[in-house]
Amino acid sequence: MNKLEELKQGKLVAVIRGARPDQIVPIARALKEGGIRTLEITVETPKVCDLIEKVKEEFGDDIIAGAGTVLDPETARATIMAGAEFIFSPTVNVETIKMTKRYGTISIPGALTPTEILTAYEHGADIIKVFPADVLGVGYFKNLKGPLPHIPLMPTGGVNLGNLASFLKAGAVAAGLGGSLINPAKLISDEDYAELTETAKKFSAIVQNS
């Protein structure tokens, strides 16, 4: 099974934003224990390339690690060279998609309108991140699948324990989980990381039951 199929099978992508470098490996470990194996480390994280390398060294194929908030092809290439297995973007940047695919890496740009979604897909994106998903909600997401059933879509932004099942039922191939899963500022003690694992288990259970 290739990485794209693994990502789709796991359904859940944890978005790690605002974390300190020393938190990344403990977060990855806590999420893995909770059943979430795909991690997006946003590129504004200090030493992000070193951290991607460290996660891959620590966990190997047990974790799929990628870069998030990638706005340009240069950043995409740098993180891919560090071992990023997918590139997430909040927008449709055609050159970033091309660079990502040039290196055989999974491309997941962010889009909201049907035109943006189709544009990204026609330029080679593997999955389109519907972002921000909570602004227009599950109904909008479901309506997108009507005329665009062949395009793999994943909601990101505002996906939580209350609406994840609805997004999956509406046809999401995966979902991005941010603040509803991880708040690095509140991860201080071992108990905090244990609570993160329990939250991850709750999201994983929804996937298993969907």
Active site includes 142? no
Active-site residue identified among 11, 54, 56, 129: 129
Rounded Cα–Cα distance for residues 168 and 74 (Å): 33
Is residue 40 among the annotated active site residues? yes
Pairing of the two strands 12-16 and 64-68: unpaired
Report yes or no: 123 and 151 within 8 Å, Cβ to Cβ: no
Q: Which residue has the tokens 């240069």?
A: 74
Of the residues 3, 6, 40, 98, which is catalytic?
Answer: 40
Could you tell me if 77 and 54 are in contact, meaning their C-beta atoms sit under 8 angstroms apart?
no
Can you list the positions of beta strands (E) in the chain? 12-16, 38-42, 64-68, 86-88, 106-108, 110-111, 128-130, 153-155, 175-177
In 111-183, which ranges are continuous DSSP H helix? 114-122, 133-145, 164-169
208: CB partners within 8 A, 6+ apart:
none
Active site residues: 40, 129
